[in-house]
Amino acid sequence: MTLANLRKAGGGFRMTKIWRAALACAALAFCTGQANAANVTSFNPESIVLGLQSSGYKAILKKSDDGDPIIETSSDGNVIQIVLNDCENHKSCRTSEFVGVWDCATVIEKCKQAALEINNAESPVHVILNNGGKTALTYSYLLFDEVGISESLLIKNLVTFNYYNNQFNVAVSKK
């Protein structure tokens, strides 16, 4: 039977219904797949922990001295904290940043030089020296809204931050 004969016999209508049903199923499957890839947001700190864990990172939700959430993770042996600030009821937070803490007590001059180089470069990561240069904090802001960002973008941001932490570590470790 040809396509023209199918249409005359009412088959076109049936085929249209079948195609519409198939498209609806495909759209539903696509949307369901998208819903499973949940965004992460500082407005829901647990979502960040789950996003890190689903990507193979260890992540622990802790609290700062003032009760706001801190997420501790690591990459390449570097301990990284995701510090959440400006929170409502110590849960829904408007700002967040990646933070790395370095002990520079025995290499103060190297830390100062590495901090200067990183801070002068076009880098998303910056370094603050404390205690006369004995401690260095690497940090990078991570922006969220209630909708959040994808888990993969969170991981890309973490990998980028870790890259600069490794650069800092290499600079400080040079002999």
3-state SS, 63-93, equals: ECCCCCEEEEEEECCEEEEEEEEEEECCCEE
Domain 45-173 is of which CATH architecture?
2-Layer Sandwich (3.30)
> Is residue 126 within 8 Å of 139, Cβ to Cβ?
yes
Q: What is the DSSP letter of 133?
A: G
**How much is the pLDDT for 37?**
64
**How much is the pLDDT for 4?**
41
What is the phi/psi pair of residue 88, to 5°? -95, 125
In order, the DSSP letters of 136-168 are: EEEEEEE---SS-B-HHHHHHHHHHHHHHHHHH
**How much is the pLDDT for 144?**
84
The domains of the chain are located at 3-36, 45-173
What are the per-10-residue average pLDDT scores of the chain (175 residues)? 41 43 42 58 95 96 95 94 93 93 95 96 94 95 89 95 94 87
> Is residue 166 within 8 Å of 125, Cβ to Cβ?
no
Residue type, 52: L
